[in-house]
Structure formats: structure tokens, C-alpha cells
Amino acid sequence: MGKARRSPDGGLSTAPPAWLAQGWPHIWLPYAQMKTAPAPLAVVGAKNARLKLGDGRELIDGVASWWTVAHGYDHPHIREAVARQLEVLPHVMLGGLAHEQAYTLARRLARFLPGDLNRVFFSDSGSVAVEVALKMAMQFWLNRGERGRTKILSFKGGYHGDTFATMAICDPDDGMHALFKGALSEQFVVDLPTDAAKTDALNRTLARHARDIAAVIVEPLVQGAAGMKFHSAETLRRIADAARRHGMILILDEIFTGFARTGTMFAMGQAGVVPDIVCLGKALTGGTLPLAATVASERVFEGFLSDDPAAALMHGPTYMGNALACAAANASLDLFEREPRIADAARIETALRRGLEPARGLAGVRDVRVKGAIGVIELEKLDRNDLRRRFIEKGVWIRPFANIVYTTPPFTIGDADLAKITTAMVDVVRETT
């Protein structure tokens, strides 16, 4: 793995597993500068909120594998559902064919969602789910003969994915894709309407460009990957009202916030907002298999019904609606129905507020904030690799980014493990600021 490589805990005494050492020269890691990134930890098993490492150690996972593992690792109900489906039908294309798991899941998602969000288009990642939503919004107007409405309005501080269309609606200056500014299509990226002046500015932009803008997109209540930035239900209502007033399609990106993460099943429920399109992913399968969904209202769907074949939505990911992934998602929905996930989020929120509060007075700390099962310590600056190493030494897996240390644990995490996470977060911040 190279003489300069150190193990993630800073030592050199433990040799990596053969598969890690042999594969390292050929892997390209996500969101990592490969010249300086520490070697990854070899994970050989996981249960509930704990990761079992190849060297025998265990880490408490404080980020639920990028916010996906809602019900804990290796939940027997999801595992058994996937195993049963594997015996029946692992996959079949949805182009001209159908299978039970996808159709059942579509019906159930429509039942979970508010209003007339009834038409479910499956994909295999959150970025693609957002791409599909943008495409739906633009083609909705194209099908009506309004050919100029191909722009999207999004908000500063937002993040919607890593593909080219989604990068274009992320924060163009402070987001992780600022490098591509100039290569991306130019969209309207404005301030969240958190006060009267910014609300007026939003309405002026929408009015001025009413013939250009197809849709308004926002992450409701929490802008996740851009730094876990919170905004109020009232702000979300202002966005929804402005979109409606100016005749725009409203898209809510609930890929991170959906499925109880903010304390309600969907963040939109806290504002009483029903969008035209919603994007779902992350916890949809309980962190088991990749699956995402773009769910449209009947109004949007009817905009594609025509005798003209060109009016159809010409999109179709090869593995869309994969039977194993849909089986996992149906089992995950079972657990959201049967087990007290909303109460779990409330329990975690209480523990996070109590456990992270001591960080508020520490040097270098800008803010401490909690919403649902999301806890954040915002710092003036940080050294991500150093902090990650310190967290590993304390037995927790925390992955700082931007200028924040945060936790989004599985809803099933025990109180003792949760306390270890918050204690580690406060201690590491105290030690390094």
C-alpha cells in the first residue's frame, strides 16, 4: 500500500487484510484526496450501530453509513426479506415487465406520502432521483409548448448530488463543486427566504424569470451535505408559497431528511407543505441496497399523457426498481410502520441536546444545533483527518466535513452507545480547539 501509508489510527503495527492491501492500488475512494487520505478501515461485519473491524476492534457508527442505516445494521426483518426475494427473482427490467416488489413499494410509498404524490419513478441513487425530478419538471412545460422554461431555482447552502445537472443546482460558490463553475449550466441560486428582505428577493427573481424557470428545489428544513444547515418550517412555507404564486413546480429533496431523520416521517410534514415532486433515497432500504425514488403528483404525471410518443418521460436506469432493493425497501417500510421510529428520533434528539450542549462554550465552536436525530457542532476550522483519527481512538466512527462535526446515528442505537458518541464529539472538539 506504499511506504508512506499509515493505518487509520496513526500506527503501523497492524497489517491490513490481504484484500485491502491488494486492492488499494486499484481503488478510487469517494470525496478523498488519494495522495494524502488515510487508509480506510477494513470492516468485516456490522450489527445494529456497531462496526466490526478486521483487527478485532469495534466502532460505534455515528453517521449510519451516510445516513442510510435507519434500523441498524443487519436487521433480521430486512435480511430475511432480501433472502426470500433472492430465491424468487433477483432482478428483471421494468421496461415492459413487472414484478411484485416494485409495484407493491410504489403503492405503499404513495400511501406514506401526503396529497396526491402518487406516481413513483425508481432509480438507484439520490443524484439520479434529483436528475429525474429536474427532467420531469422541464419536460412538463415542454409538453405544454412552453419551450423556454428550462431553468431551475435552488438555494445557497444546498446540495442535491454529484452528477452534472445536480452539481449545477448546488451552491456554486461555497459548495464542494465550485471547481466546476463555468462548466456547468447556469441556474438561479438564491438566498433562503429567512426574512422579509430575502423573501421579497425570491419573489422578484421568480417574477422576473417566470418564463425561464421550470421548478424550485429545496432540501426541507436541513441542508445536509453542504454543512447540516437548518432552516425553519416558516422558511419552507415561504418557498412553497412563492413557487405556487408564480406557477413553478415545487421539488422537495427529502433524500436525507425523509424517513424520520428530522423527527417526523418527512420534513415537509412539519411545514404542512405538499410538493409537486419529492425525491427519496438514503434510508429507503434501511441501508441495505441502493434504491431511490422520484414521486410526482397526478398533475405532473398527467402532463406526460398524450397520443404523441415524444411526450413520454424518456428515462430508464437499467436497474431501476431492482427486486432485491424493493424487497429491502418494503421491509424497511414495515419497520417504520411497526416500530417506534418517530419516538426513537425524539429519544435521540433529547440525548443529543443534552450531550452536545457542553461544546457550546468551547473555544473555536461557532454553533451547536440539533434537529431530530441530527446533532451538529460547527467549528471555526478543523483538520478532518486528525479529528477522524481521534474519534477512532475513542471507539466511534465520525466523519467530519466542511467545518462541522456531526452525528446521524441509526434510530435503533442504544442510550449507552449514543452517550459515547456525544462524549467523544465534545471531548475531541475540546482537545483540538
| Predicted local distance difference test score (pLDDT) of residue 11 | 39
3-state secondary structure 274-300: CCCEEEECHHHHCCCCCCEEEEEEHHH
| Predicted local distance difference test score (pLDDT) of residue 173 | 80
| Predicted local distance difference test score (pLDDT) of residue 396 | 98
Read off the C-alpha cell for 257.
Answer: 431528511
Residue bearing cell 436487521: 75
**Considering only the top CATH level, what class is 76-338?**
alpha beta
- Looking at the chain, the domain(s) classified CATH 3.90.1150.10 span 41-71+340-432
Residues 191, 198 contacting (CB under 8 angstroms):
yes
**Pairing of β 365-371 and β 396-397:** unpaired
* C-alpha separations of 45 from 54, 55, 83, 89 in Å: 8, 11, 18, 26
**DSSP letter (8 states) at residue 269:** G
Contacts of 168 (CB under 8 A, 6+ apart): 152, 184, 185, 186, 187
* C-alpha separations of 254 from 175, 258, 357 in Å: 19, 5, 27
CA distance 69 to 65: 6
| Predicted local distance difference test score (pLDDT) of residue 14 | 62
Q: Which residues are catalytic?
A: 31, 159, 253, 282
In 3D, which of 14, 7, 74, 65 has the Cα closest to residue 45? 74
Neighbours of 312 (CB within 10 A): 12
The CATH T-level fold of domain 41-71+340-432 is: Aspartate Aminotransferase, domain 1 (3.90.1150)
CA distance 368 to 376: 6
DSSP 227-268: T-EE--HHHHHHHHHHHHHTTPEEEEE-TTTTTTTTSSSSGG
- AA identity, residue 316: G
| Predicted local distance difference test score (pLDDT) of residue 4 | 35
Q: For every one of its 433 residues, what pLDDT tens digit does the chain have, with 9 covering 90 and above?
A: 333 344 444 433 467 899 999 999 999 999 999 999 888 999 999 999 999 999 999 999 999 999 999 999 999 999 999 999 999 999 999 999 999 999 999 999 999 999 999 999 999 999 999 999 999 999 999 999 999 999 999 999 999 999 999 999 998 887 777 788 888 899 999 999 999 999 999 999 999 999 999 999 999 999 999 899 999 999 999 999 999 999 999 999 999 999 999 999 999 999 999 999 999 999 999 999 999 999 999 999 999 999 999 999 999 999 999 999 999 999 999 999 999 999 999 999 999 999 999 999 999 999 999 999 999 999 999 999 999 999 999 999 999 999 999 999 999 999 999 999 999 999 999 999 8
- At residue 110, the 3 state secondary structure works out as helix
- Looking at the chain, the domain(s) classified CATH 3.40.640.10 span 76-338
| Predicted local distance difference test score (pLDDT) of residue 16 | 81
